[in-house]
Copies of this chain bind each other. A is one copy, B any other.
Amino acid sequence: MNITIRQIADKAGVSRGTVDRVLNGRPGVKPAIRERILLIANELNYVPNVAAKALAHSKKPVLIGIVMPPKEIGFFDDVRLGINDAAAELKGFGIRVEYRYVDINRSEESVEAIRMFIEEKASGIMYCAMDDEEIRESIDYVVEQGVPVITFNSDVENCKRICFVGQDLYKSGRIAAGLMNLILPMNAKVAVITSTLKFHAQRSRLKGFKDGLEKLGKQIEIVEVIEGYERFEDTQVKLQAAFANHPDIQGIYMATGSIEACIDIIKKNSREERIRIVCNDLQPEVEEGIRQGLIDFTIMQNPYQQGYRPLRLLYDFIFMHKQPEQEYYFTETQISISESL
């Protein structure tokens, strides 16, 4: 049998109520006793009984707040699926989740959302927001209130979040390089399309791609890095220009951005047969491109897990007082081809 608070109480010569207070950091216990109890708990290697906690909480479930982009953004469908699955599993467990959808480009909205959750006495936050000062402050404030925050999908650096769950962007770039290396001939020329290099995240991917190509022996050369701002037109125009400058481009790495524009230009230039494409994620356009044989590979990083994990981690943190073991939880990289779909 496992250790219970009762045993700790007996050993310490206090009541279970007191032990409960100490173990859950509630106020109103003389420091000396607190010490003593903590010591005993530690020495007995106490692990709280999940089921009992859950049951006791079932009347008034603990709230976990989720701040993320709205339903319209397709990528997040799978993330939401992961969250919902975790939430369903944890439902009988005294936790409930609440979503708040925000325009991720307007940080005020995120800040407002997280603030409201605190007012509602949320016990934990899943936060997907921009990496800027305003957001950083909002996180630090919340965490200082004793409410854990986990960033997911897109990280916020140098802040007090307890951990991050999402992609390893550098690695995805390296894998893209590895794939190009396998399908392109020696000395091939490639273009990279990204949204904008202003963001650290995008630069990581590009860096991974560059480093990857360098390590390999095929001397594949990056002749253009296009910033498409995820917009159709920008991408189209710039890619067309790239083709004009380098008629011998044989591969395109679509790190992020408008797949439609890319495919459009390729078709306009009748290059379907001669261009190999590697991209990321699996929006409908990508799926379509793969089906048609225009896209060779896509690299995904398990959006489902990006939703599922953080909630479980928060649960462990809140109920089991278990600190995350890592600061970065990178979701598994997956490579897909048409047969994988």
Contacts and interface: CB of A to CB of B under 8 A. Distances in A.
A203 interface: no
Of A93, A334, A339, chain B has the most CB atoms within 10 Å of the CB of A339
A227 interface: no
Interface residues of A, number: 32
Contacts of A174: 339
Nearest to A215: B339
Interface in A34-73: 49-52, 54-55, 58-59
Given A182-B296, A296-B182, A334-B335, A93 B340 contact: no
Given A182-B296, A183-B182, A183-B183, A49 B92 contact: yes
A336 interface: yes
A175 interface: yes
B51 A179 contact: no
Interface string A285-316: 00000000000110000000000000000000
A338 interface: yes
A240 to B, nearest CB: 26
Interface string A226-250: 0000000000000000000000000
A49 to B, nearest CB: 6
B51 A94 contact: yes
A337 interface: yes
A196 interface: no
A51 B92 contact: yes
Contacts of A59: 1
A335 B335 contact: yes
A16 interface: no
A128 interface: no
A287 to B, nearest CB: 15
A339 B55 contact: no
A115 interface: no
A339 B297 CA distance: 14
A301 to B, nearest CB: 11
A172 to B, nearest CB: 9
B51 A337 contact: no
Nearest to A339: B178
A183 B177 CA distance: 15
A183 B185 CA distance: 10
B50 A93 contact: yes
Nearest to A211: B339
A333 interface: yes
Interface in A91-128: 92-94
A55 B183 CA distance: 56
30 contacts: A1-B59, A49-B58, A49-B92, A50-B51, A50-B54, A50-B92, A50-B93, A51-B51, A51-B52, A51-B55, A51-B58, A51-B92, A51-B93, A52-B55, A52-B58, A54-B54, A55-B55, A171-B339, A175-B337, A175-B340, A177-B339, A178-B338, A178-B339, A182-B296, A182-B337, A183-B183, A212-B339, A334-B335, A335-B335, A335-B336
Given A55-B55, A333-B340, A334-B334, 4 more contacts: A50-B51, A50-B92, A51-B92, A175-B337
**Top-3 shortest CB links A-B:** A51-B54, A50-B92, A178-B339
